[in-house]
């Protein structure tokens, strides 16, 4: 018999805490840092659309118009899991804390991005 201990939920989202630095779209296009960049996008289903900007998604962002000014881009230093201890030596001297509910069905591909953010209405 299996017994589940702890919190069980049917939710399609989870609480997320991210340590990083907010950047604008121009910085994203011209960056030299090796830290990954994520986008905090629209509210979808039960949480925020939070996803890594892959080279394919970045290429899609450049191909068609969309309103980049209404979204948050984060150069991510650490994505914190529940109860995780953080070694402050791994962080730059200055960083920001971002906290939000992340939807489990966030953007994953350039096609997902196009459908969610670049559809003409």
SS3 string of the chain?
CCCCCCCCCCCCEEEEEEEEEEECHHHHHCCCCCCCEEEEEEEECCEEEEEECCHHHHHHHHHCCCCHHHCEEEEEEEEECCCCCCCHHHCCCCCEEEEEEEECCCCCCHHHHHHHHCCCC
Over residues 36-78, the pLDDT tens digits come to 999 999 988 888 999 999 999 999 999 888 888 889 999 999 8
Enumerate the domain spans of the chain: 16-81+93-106
The residues near 51 (Cβ < 8 Å, ≥ 6 apart) are 38, 39, 41, 57, 106, 107, 108
| The predicted structure's pLDDT at residue 39 | 95
| The predicted structure's pLDDT at residue 109 | 94
Over residues 82-115, the pLDDT tens digits come to 667 777 787 888 999 998 888 888 999 999 999 9
Torsion angle of C-alpha atoms 43, 44, 48, 49, degrees rounded to 10: -120
| The predicted structure's pLDDT at residue 5 | 47
């Amino acid at each position: 018999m299996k017994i589940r201990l702890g919190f069980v939920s049917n939710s399609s989202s989870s609480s997320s805490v991210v340590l990083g630095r907010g950047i604008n779209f121009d910085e994203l296009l011209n960056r030299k840092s090796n830290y990954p960049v994520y986008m905090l996008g629209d509210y979808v289903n039960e949480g925020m659309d939070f996803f890594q900007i892959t080279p394919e998604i970045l290429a899609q962002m450049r191909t068609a118009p969309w309103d980049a000014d209404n979204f948050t881009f984060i150069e991510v230093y650490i994505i914190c899991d529940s109860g995780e201890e953080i070694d402050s030596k791994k962080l730059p001297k200055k960083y920001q804390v971002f906290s939000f509910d992340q939807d489990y069905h966030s953007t994953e591909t350039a096609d997902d991005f196009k459908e969610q953010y670049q559809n003409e209405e």
